[in-house]
Chain A
Amino acid sequence: MTATVSPPTVGRLPNPRRSTEKRRQRTLTWVLAVISLFTVAPLIAVAVLALSPEDAPTLPYALPSSLTLDNIIRIFNVGEFPLWLWNSFLYSAVSVVVVLLTASMAAYALARKRFPGRNALLWAIIATMMVPVQATLIPTFILISKMGGVNTLWGLILPTLANAQAIFLIRQFVRDMPEELFDAARIDGAGEWRTFWQIVLPLIRPVLATLAIFVFLWHWNDLLWPLVVGQSDAARTLTVGLATLNTETASTSNVMAATLVSFIPCLVIFALLQKHIVASITHSGVKG
């Protein structure tokens, strides 16, 4: 492949171990290239199908003779697709902002302040991580419906703001900060809120960035809760819309165009923050 085999220099025999290693690396590269084909080919197929002219022969029997943006333009003009996109964006973006803010505040208090009931609260928050969201799906739905939140965006967003993992992760960061930092802030006369805003928040930026990525992805890709609470278009997210498109008799090119559009934000985030994502999974085991 890319490894160029240099001709052996005159008078010096090629090191046999190095050449076996070279051969091994080349085989390894090929094997990984084949595996990558399996992981990436379905995504390329989506793009090709989404960009193929609607009536032209296309995959799996032929490659389209030309590519077009018609399908993508059409889904933006027809039906409720733009609304779903907007709903998904709000569901994800609002959740990221509120979760990060409330979780940082709570994590700061739980790690640094002594108040009655602190340990009980911390224990209770951590314990909720053991309860799968599906197990509380019904009572949460009943609660939201009693509050009048079915088919509304606030009803969709509110219950997902309780994120124990975010609190847990941020708390570990805040707990490991040196006490002198807070003493210094106190000597300088910084109030509680200023200490939080100007000292704690800037220092936990790395963990906030990581959490922002995962909270965004989790909401953007979530299905069950939006499916249950957002049945009308007013609160229907992209995943729910896609799932219904797929079961209805929408054309393949429409479904694939919508799927492609839904994937683009995730791809952009990955392209920009790849190193961050990889590091956070390998270090803290954040589950998206």
Chain B
Amino acid sequence: MSVNTRTRSTLAGRHPALTAPPLKPFGARKARNREALAGILFVLPTLVIFGLFKFLPIFGAGAMSLTEYSLNGDFEFLGADNYVRLAEDPNFWQSLKVTFLYVAIFVPFIIAVSLAGAVLLDKLVRFTGTFRALLFIPYLSSFVMAGIIWTWIFSTDGPLNAALGGLGMGPVPFTSGPQLLVLLSLAVVSVWKGFGYSMLIFLAGLKAQPAEVHEAARIDGAGAWKSFWYVTLPLLKPVVFFVLVIETIVGFQVFDTIYVMTGGGPARASHSLIYFLFDEGFKFFDFGYASAIGVVLFVIVLILSLIQQRFFEGKDSK
């Protein structure tokens, strides 16, 4: 009996025409109720967890950004005051500038490195697995660990400055010098730690390219470089775009390496948006203001996600 009603209700669900005269209204409804109850019970733990720790904080962030919220739970409604304050806060603009500069350095850097790694691995015939593993290993480390290693590498008496000293060059202040140098050093750390992931995505994209196209290019007399530039890269464009968006979002969220390596310094030269949020929230306990910074971050990431979605939907509907 249950089989029949079950098939019935499944069909009814899929084809609206069949719902009009239900053959076994009582049995079908009973089965449907049981199914709904089971569904709700299975989803209940997730509903509770998400309700408390995702949905509530998301609305909370928006609401708190409109208040002055103090540590003991007292709050005062301010309207858009926090946003006005943000617009007038030079530290906010500084952190935006730092973040955009960092993204502008980090994203092309990591794309170039991971693409180069993928192209080389793709062409290699033997030991592919070994080299893939060796290039990927840093991805397993934490940003904290990467920051600690590279703090040592960049330090005045570290290996890099020892090598430069051997060449007769003075110690380079990699993490305490001019802003662009500091941001470049931070980008080096994140690229070292993170490029293995994008490299594997690029590698999969390269492996999916039809061999005939490359063969045709070779017969037409295209060298390795031309073949890459005019055949491989255009075919890889969707993958490049995917990685570009992902890494841009990663770039906007930079925090860990800064916390470990520079503390936002020198003189706010690496005081990123998240670092600004962290400072306002947990150094000055200005929770309402910090929430407003979080909302700004959300808007930036949302715009990037929407661009990505628009792009991929455009691809699919073709």
A binding-site residues for B, Cβ under 8 Å = 2-3, 24-25, 28-29, 31-33, 35-36, 38-40, 42-43, 45-46, 49, 59-61, 102-103, 105-106, 108-110, 112-116, 118, 121, 124-125, 128, 130-132, 134-143, 146, 158-159, 161-162, 164, 167, 179, 183, 186-187, 192, 196, 217, 220-224, 227-228, 239, 242-243, 246-247, 252, 255-256, 259, 262-263, 266-267, 269-270, 274, 278, 281-283, 285, 287-288
Among B46, B52, B61, contact of A102 (Cβ-Cβ < 8 Å): B46
Q: Which of A40, A186, A239, A267 contacts B134 (CB 8 A)?
A: A40
**Can you offer 19 A-B residue contacts whose CB atoms are under 8 A?**
A3-B126, A39-B134, A102-B49, A106-B45, A109-B40, A113-B39, A114-B13, A130-B301, A132-B298, A162-B54, A196-B42, A222-B142, A223-B256, A228-B278, A243-B259, A243-B260, A263-B140, A283-B204, A285-B242
A40–B134 alpha-carbon span in the complex (Å) = 7
Stretch at the interface among B104-112, B178-186, B286-294: B286-294
Knowing A36-B131, A109-B42, A131-B58, the reply to whether A221 touches B290 (Cβ < 8 A) is no
Q: Across the interface, which residues of A come within 8 angstroms of B45, CB to CB? A: 102, 105-106
Nearest 4 CB-CB pairings of A with B:
A113-B39, A139-B60, A221-B142, A60-B159
What CA separation (Å) do A103 and B274 show in the bound complex?
29
User: Given A118-B43, A243-B259, list of 16 further CB < 8 A pairs?
Assistant: A32-B131, A42-B149, A46-B145, A109-B39, A113-B42, A132-B298, A135-B297, A136-B57, A137-B281, A139-B57, A139-B58, A142-B69, A161-B49, A192-B41, A242-B148, A270-B137
Complex Cα distance, B201 from A282, in Å, reads 5
Contact B253 A39 (CB under 8 A): no
Q: Is B317 an interface residue (CB 8 A)?
A: no
State in angstroms the CA–CA spacing of A24 and B39 once bound together. 59
Bound Cα distance from A196 to B45, whole angstroms: 15
Interface check B255, CB cutoff 8 A: yes
Could you tell me if A266 and B141 are in contact, using CB atoms closer than 8 angstroms? yes
Bound-state CA distance A252–B148 (Å) is 10
Chain A positions within 8 Å of B126 at CB level: 2-3, 25, 29
- If A116-B36, A246-B148 touch, whether A110 touches B43 (CB-CB below 8 Å) is yes
Whether B142 contacts A220 by the Cβ 8 Å rule is yes
Partner pick for A35 among B36, B135, B201, CB 8 A cutoff? B135
* Given A36-B131, A196-B42, CB of A128 within 8 Å of CB of B263: no
In the complex, what residues of A have CB within 8 A of residue B124's CB? 25, 28-29, 32
A132 CA to B274 CA, complexed, in Å = 11
Residues in B223-277 with C-beta less than 8 Å from chain A: 242, 246, 249, 252-253, 255-256, 259-260, 263, 274, 277
Residues of A within 8 A of B17 (CB): none
A39 to B197, CA, bound (A): 13
A contact residues around B170 at 8 Å (CB): none
Q: When chains A and B are docked, how far (Å) is the Cα of A155 from the Cα of B290? A: 21
A187-B3 CB under 8 A given contacts A31-B120, A138-B61: yes
Bound together, the chains give a CA A252 to CA B151 distance in angstroms of 11
CA distance A288 to B197 in the complex (A): 9
**When the two chains form the complex, which single residue of A24, A36, A134, A220 contacts B135, counting CB atoms closer than 8 Å?**
A36
Are A159 and B253 touching (Cβ within 8 A)?
A: no
